[in-house]
Amino acid sequence: MTDRSVIVIGAGAAGLLAAHFAARSGAQVELVERTRDGGRKILISGGGRCNVLPGVARPERYVTASSAHRMRRLLKSWPLVEQREFFTRELGIDLVLEPETGKLFPSSHRARDVRDGLVEAVRRAGARMRFDTRVTGLGPPPSPDADWRVHLEGGATLSARCVVVATGGLSVPATGSDGAGLGWLEALGHEVHPLYPALTPLTGCADHADLAGVSLSVRIRAPGARPRFETTDGFLFTHRGYSGPSVLDASHLTVGGADTRQSLRVRWAAHETAEWDEMLVSARQGIVGGVVSDHVPARLARRLVHEAGVPWDRAVSRLTRAERRSLTRILGDYDLPWDGNEGYKKAEVTGGGVALDQVDLRTLESRVSPRLFLCGELLDAFGPIGGHNFFWAWATGRAAGRGAAQTA
C-alpha cells in the first residue's frame, strides 16, 4: 500500500464503520478479519434481529473506569439522530422502534441485513476486504516516516501509514473475540484497565432452580454502588441463576465475586415495601398467597411467601406484625442470592479496556503510538442492554476511520 493507506483490523461493528468512513474519506483501506464473513456479533444480537440502536440515548447509564466526561464526549460525537439517518440513507435499512422495549430494530428484523449492508457499504466505498486472515501482532514504525507493519499468521506482513485496531474484547469468544488486540496495545505501552465480563447472566441459589422459566419486570438497585445504580426491566430465572435485561445491566457490580459481595436488592412488583405493608394491613379478606399471586407469577409467589416464613393459606387479617414485616421486605427489598456470573462465554461485552485518556477524543488516535487508532469494545466503556453498545461501536468506529484517513 502507498500514501494515505489505512489497515483496519477487525470487521465487527466498529471495524466496519471505521473501514467505511476511512475509505469514503479518500484513504486506501484494507480491512483484515479473522472470520470468513465478519460481523458475527451483529448476527447474533437481539436474538438474530439486531438491536441496532437504542430509542433514546442514555449516556448516564454507561460504565467506565476512565473519565466519565471523556466518555460522554465520545458518545456525543455522532448523535443518535444522525446515526439513525446513516442506516436509512447510506445503507437503505429502515429502523423501527419497538414500543414495549424502546429499542430500534431493522424493519426486516433480520440481523443479517444489517451485517450484509455494512459489508457492502465498505466495498462500495472502495475498501479491500481480506477475510479468514488472522493478525498475530503489530510492528510499530521504526522511524517517524516509516509505515506500521501488521503481521499475519503464516509469516506474511502488511504495511500501511495508519492502522485502526477494532479487534473487540473477550466476550462471546465463539464469534472470534480473543482479546489479542488488547495484548498488542498493552505491549506498546497503553494503559489497559482490568478486564471483566459485563452484561452477563448471574449464577445463584440452587433452591431457585425450580423457578427456571419464570419471568417478570422488576426493579434492581445496588445500595452500595458508587455511582448509584438502579434499573427496571425484565428478569428471568434460569436453571443456573438469573438473567434478563435488569440482571445483565447489574452484572458488572458482581465482578469481585461473592467474597466481596455487592448486595442487589429486587422489588418484585410495582409496589414499594411500604405500599405492600399498607395493602396487607388494609386487606380484610383473602389469604396471603392469593394477595401476593395477584401481583407476581404464582410459582414465584409461593417461593417468596415460603422464604418469608409465612403460611401460604394464612388469612391476611391474621398476619402478625413480624410476619407482615418479613413478607413486605421479601416482596419489596429482596436480597438476591447471587454467587457469581456466567463469564465471558455469555457476556454481551467486555468491561475495562484501554483507558480513554490514551486516545485523542476527536480522532481516536493513540497518544502513545502515533498513527494508531483505537475504537469499539477494546476502549474502556460499555452501555446497558438495548443497542447502547452498538451506539458506542458506530460512534467510535466512525471517529477512528475518519481520523485515520485525515492522518494517513
| Chosen domain end from 291, 314, 342 | 342
Cis peptide before 227 (omega within 30 of 0): yes
Residues 385 and 244 sit within 8 Å (Cβ to Cβ):
no
The pLDDT of 35-64, averaged and rounded, is 95
Number of domains, the chain: 2
pLDDT at position 258: 47
Q: Is the same domain home to 131 and 147?
A: yes
pLDDT at position 385: 95
The pLDDT of 274-289, averaged and rounded, is 91
pLDDT cut 70: percent of the chain above it: 98
Q: Is the same domain home to 332 and 205?
A: yes
C-alpha to C-alpha distance for 166 and 392, rounded to whole angstroms: 12
Q: Is the same domain home to 184 and 107?
A: yes
| Chosen domain end from 342, 357, 389 | 342
Q: Is the same domain home to 254 and 148?
A: no
Residues 400 and 14 sit within 8 Å (Cβ to Cβ):
yes
- Return mean pLDDT, the chain: 95
Q: Is the same domain home to 357 and 313?
A: no
Q: Is the same domain home to 323 and 400?
A: no
Q: Is the same domain home to 48 and 172?
A: yes
Q: Is the same domain home to 333 and 361?
A: no
pLDDT cut 90: percent of the chain above it: 90
In the predicted model, is pLDDT for residue 191 greater than 70? yes
Q: Is the same domain home to 302 and 189?
A: no
In the predicted model, is pLDDT for residue 261 greater than 80? no
What does the block give as the cell for 9?
Answer: 483490523
Digit-coded pLDDT (tens) for 338-382: 999 999 999 999 999 999 999 999 999 999 999 999 999 999 999
